[in-house]
Amino acid sequence: MNELGRKIAAARKDRGITQTEFAEKLNVTRQTVSRWEAGTVLPDIEKIPDIASLLQVSCDYLLKDDIQEDRNAPVTGTGKLLAEMVGKKVRLQFFDGEADPDLYERDCLVLGFEGSWIKISAETKKGVQEKLIPLSSVLSMMITEEA
C-alpha cells in the first residue's frame, strides 16, 4: 500500500463510508477504489479534488506524504473568503498569459476550493464543463450572481 492509498482508506473508514458507497459517489467501481487503497493503481488527477471533498481532507493532505491531517486546523482569512464563494457565479480574470480561452467572458459556478486549486463549472462552446484551475492563475473573481 502506498501513502495515498493508505490515506484514502483511513479517511474513508474514519467517516464510515464503504468502498461501494465511496465508488458510487465518485462514479467508479468498487474494484477501482480497492486498487487505489491497495496502491496497485493511482486515481486520475482529476478525481483528487472529488476524493478530498468526500473525505473532508485537502488535496495537499492526500498528495503530499509529509502532511498530516489536522481536522482542528484554523481556517485562514483567505480560506474563509474563498469558502464563501462556493455556490456563487463569478467572472474570472486571469493574469496575462494564463487565461483559459473556454472561460473568457463567461460566468462560472464555483464548486469548491482545494489547496491551491479552484473547481468551477461553466457553460462553454463544448457544453457544460467542470474544470480545475490553479488559483495562482486567477487575478480576480467578481460575483455575478448569488446562488
Region 12-36 average pLDDT: 92
Strand ranges for the chain from DSSP E: 89-94, 107-114, 117-124, 127-134, 138-145
Superfamily of domain 3-63: lambda repressor-like DNA-binding domains (1.10.260.40)
Range with the poorest average pLDDT among 28-37, 64-73, 94-103, 136-145: 64-73
- Asked if the domains 3-63 and 77-145 are classified in one and the same CATH topology, the answer is no
Domain ranges of the chain: 3-63, 77-145
DSSP state letters, 79-97 = HHHHHTTTT-EEEEEE-TT
Identify the band that residue 73 occupies on the pLDDT scale cut at 50, 70 and 90. very low
Full-model pTM: 0.50
pLDDT, residue 74, reads 42
What SS3 class is residue 33?
helix
CATH architecture of 77-145: Roll (2.30)
Quote the cell numbers at residue 95. Answer: 493574469
pLDDT over threshold 50, residue 122: yes
Find the radius of gyration of the CA atoms of the chain.
17
- Please give the pLDDT value at position 118: 85
**Best CA proximity match to 138, nearest among 122, 125, 111, 119:** 119
Residue 75 has pLDDT above 80, yes or no: no
- In this prediction, residue 98 carries a pLDDT of 78
